[in-house]
Structure 1
Amino acid sequence: MAKYLISFPSGAMQVTPEELEQASIDSHEVVRAAKAAGVWVFGGGIDEDVPPVRVHADGSITEDTYEQTRRLEGGYTVIDVPTRAEAEDWARKIAVACRCPQELRVFMHDPES
């Protein structure tokens, strides 16, 4: 089994308010299906109203980010499936429900996690 990240930036979802309501219903159906299939690990959207902070190795906290993640936003799903093909199928289901393309990435294997 491998864990996969399925994600999209918030600007990718170009829907009307009416479409957003149905997309929410459809996406929650996919969440329930993934949970029923036993592949769901976690999902959610970044709260863009709460600014990020960076916690340093010395324990200090600063109100900034890494340059590469300055625009981290949108929706994220983590699933645990045996094959990339199965991960692609779940990404496809989420893309249909959310009405926008999804990015798919695999987490490196870590025997401790």
Structure 2
Amino acid sequence: MAKYLISFPAAAMVVPEGDWDAVVRDSHAVIEQAKAAGVYVFGGGIDAGVPPVLVAADGRVTDGGYRAPPLDGGFTVLELPSREQAVDWAARLAKACRCSQELRVFGFDPQS
């Protein structure tokens, strides 16, 4: 089985005032379904209050992270037997979060 990353950038979550409680409830319900199905690996959100740093091979730390689009928002990793099932779970999360989800598959590395 492959592990799939289902994610969204913070800017994608445009939720009308007063709807946040429903989004939280609905998204947690999907996660509980994934746990009950035995496919949940882990999930969470990037803490925007903690700025990124780059750590070099010599241990030197530089503020700011890579010069690329920001890595923020939320993510879920599920272990599933097919891409079709991953699309189904991504659609459930999209409905719950009120925004489209990006779906990626992790490459298999037997050493990790």
| TM band (smaller chain) | over 0.9
* Secondary structure of 2:52 counterpart: coil
TM-score (norm 2): 0.95
Q: How much does 1:50 deviate?
A: 0.8
Aligned ranges 1:93-108 → 2 under 5 Å: 93-108=92-107
Give identity over the alignment, percent. 57
Higher share in helix: 1
Partners of 1:112 and 1:39 lie apart in 2 by 21
Partners of 1:68 and 1:107 lie apart in 2 by 20
Which residue matches 2:40?
Answer: 40
Partners of 1:64 and 1:11 lie apart in 2 by 19
Q: Flag structure 1 segments of 5+ consecutive residues without an equivalent.
A: none
Q: How much does 1:48 deviate?
A: 0.6
TM-score (norm 1): 0.94
Confirm whether residue 29 of structure 1 aligns to residue 29 of structure 2.
yes
* Secondary structure of 1:17 counterpart: coil
Aligned-residue CA RMSD (Å): 1.0
Q: Flag structure 2 segments of 5+ consecutive residues without an equivalent.
A: none
Q: Which amino acid aligns with 2:92?
A: K
Q: How much does 1:53 deviate?
A: 0.8
